[in-house]
Amino acid sequence: MERRFHTYRYPLSEVLPSLDELARYLHMEDTEHPAYLYMVERLEQLRSSDLEAVGGYVVGRVDSVEVAEGRLAVEGVSFAVGAQVAGYLKEASEAALFLCTAGALFSDEAHALNAAGDFLEAYIIDAIGSLTVERAMDRIHAALAEEQAPLGLKITNRYSPGYCNWPLLDQHQLFHFVGENPTGITLSPSALMHPIKSVSGIIGIGTHCRRRAYGCVICQNKTCIYRRIVQREKAV
């Protein structure tokens, strides 16, 4: 059976972070700081643009999950996801392989700003791009959950090549599985996506699948440049 890519398109105005969210992400609540003023200005400009985030997924039947070997096969295509991700997906009877991009604007602009020595502005536009693509993917993730719920199926977190010991090079397998799609994302020989503000990965689907606490909430990295753990400790 031919695989179908379920496409979702969101105007940037719907998936851009709010000013509060961006300010929290960057630890920037000083409303007179140039970073804050730039955030206000740039978000406003982007909200009125006609650009959009594009993404979606292809759902396939899971043939096998070998946790110890760190392998997962979906409709005859084998993924070397590593033991950790395989463990998280062991209850999956189906899997959604996804792609999503916020577009080339963010990385192109960040690159140009960095080249001009405007590092602060580059940092902010890069952060807006990161949050935007994740927010678009959150919507797609939610749409998948909604689609599966009437069938009595639940979904897992999303996992991406490059993270949780899933080798980045497996990105090639993922793109091969997804096939033709309207996102326009391309892969370099070293498996890096273009546009940079893009995400890809897998979501497990099954009657016993569940979502787990993830990311900054559970991370213990005290030297992360975003200093999340410092904020959590302060909040305790």
Q: Which is nearer to another protein, 27 or 208 (CB)?
A: 27
Residue 56 makes contact with another protein by CB under 8 A? no
Query: And the tokens for 190?
Result: 């070293």
CB of residue 208 vs another protein: minimum separation in angstroms? 27
H or E element in which residue 95 lies: strand 94-101
Residue 71 makes contact with another protein by CB under 8 A? no
Choice from 73, 143, 168, 187 touching another protein (CB under 8 A)? 168
> Which of the ranges 4-12, 57-65, 68-76, 184-192 carries the binding residues for another protein, by CB under 8 A?
184-192
Question: What is d(CA 219, CA 25) in angstroms, rounded to the nearest whole number?
Answer: 15
Choice from 116, 120, 149, 151 touching another protein (CB under 8 A)? 120
CB of residue 66 vs another protein: minimum separation in angstroms? 19
What is the CA angle 5-106-182, rounded to 5?
15
Residue 208 is which amino acid?
H
Q: Which is nearer to another protein, 77 or 168 (CB)?
A: 168
For the chain, the distance separating the N- and C-terminal CA atoms, rounded to the nearest angstrom, is 53
Burial of 50 (0-12, 13-18, 19+ CB in 10 A): exposed
Residue 196 is which amino acid?
I
Alpha carbon of 141 to those of 113, 147, 172, 184: distances in Å? Answer: 32, 10, 22, 20
> Which of the ranges 62-70, 71-79, 112-120, 178-186 carries the binding residues for another protein, by CB under 8 A?
112-120
Residue tagged 């096939």 (tokens): 179
CB-CB contact of 205 with 93 (8 Å): yes
- Give the residue from 122, 127, 155 showing the smallest Cα distance to 16: 127
Q: Which is nearer to another protein, 128 or 144 (CB)?
A: 128
Neighbour tally for 154: CB within 10 Å: 18
Choice from 96, 102, 140, 191 touching another protein (CB under 8 A)? 191
> Which of the ranges 90-98, 123-131, 145-153, 204-212 carries the binding residues for another protein, by CB under 8 A?
123-131
Q: Which is nearer to another protein, 210 or 227 (CB)?
A: 227
Q: Which is nearer to another protein, 127 or 209 (CB)?
A: 127
CB of residue 108 vs another protein: minimum separation in angstroms? 13
DSSP 121-163: HHHHHHHHHHHHHHHHHHHHHHHHHHHHGGGT-EEEEEE-TTS
Q: Which is nearer to another protein, 81 or 153 (CB)?
A: 81
Residue 192 makes contact with another protein by CB under 8 A? yes
Residues found near another protein in the complex (CB under 8 A)? 26-28, 32-35, 114, 117, 119-120, 123-124, 126, 161-168, 188, 190-192, 196, 221, 223-227, 230
